Amino acid sequence: MTIRVVVADDQELVRSGFAMILDAQPDIEVVAEAGDGAQAVEAVRRLEPDVALLDIRMPVLDGIGACREISARTACRTVMLTTFDSDAYVYEALHAGASGFLLKDVRRDDLVHAVRVVAAGDSLLAPSVARLLIAAYTSRPAQAAAVERRLGVLTARERETLLHLARGLSNAEIAAAMVVSDHTVKTHVGNVLSKLGLRDCIQAVICAYETGLVAPSPEGAPPSSSPARGRNEPAGNPPLR
């Protein structure tokens, strides 16, 4: 199946460059280019692509605003592109509904991979972006009672699955860690998202850190779980697959 993509960036050379890279792939077709966020939203509504690449800073309507409209009104998934790796941009974009976040200096192979991953229904964060997201919650002390209120609907295995998601493990890696089948992992992931009212695995990672279920440790050390869990978890960075 061909992945249909809209590319939005106010810089024509950048926009055309991304479009050329993607159009060169046998399984990807760029169906439209847009020079601002409003044009991107209109193109997505009209053409119903699978993925929209959105620059953060665009005139008329910025990338975050466009992402918010696209996520709320269409089934199209979004990947944010920016030259800035500010945690404010990361947080706003992910809460607007972005399924991926890449810096513009991304390698062409990683750009193509990101589009394929997001089109398949999964989520992806550049490692530098993942570090910013994790760091955003280091100053929020975990409250065991709050963790239990939010996550109490999960079974023990579903909570373990959420911890692995927060580490950035793929379904296959989670299956190996939990000694279960890929199908069982997909069931656990689906249950986690459904019970917590989350859209995708990136929101699951945000939830894990916001609730304090996972607490980042100093760089180079593994992130630890909250006091409510009482165990340490190994480190890792998304992409999430």
Q: Specify the DSSP class assigned to residue 217.
A: P
Can you tell me the mean pLDDT for 44-70? 95
Question: What are the φ/ψ torsions at residue 78 (nearest 5 degrees)?
Answer: -120, 145
Q: Is residue 208 a contact partner of residue 225, using CB atoms and an 8 Å limit?
A: no
d(CA 143, CA 228): 8
d(CA 115, CA 177): 27
Please report the domains of the chain, with CATH numbers, ordered by start residue. 3-134 (3.40.50.2300), 144-225 (1.10.10.10)
Q: What percent of the chain has pLDDT over 90?
A: 47
Q: What percent of the chain has pLDDT over 70?
A: 76
What 3-state DSSP class applies to 191? helix
pLDDT at 136: 57
Q: Which residues of 166-204 are buried (b: 16+ CB within 10 A; e: fewer)?
A: bbbbbbeebbebbeeeeebbeebbebbbeebebebbbbb
Nearest to 125 by CA among 163, 93, 173, 96: 93
Higher pLDDT residue, 1 or 34?
34
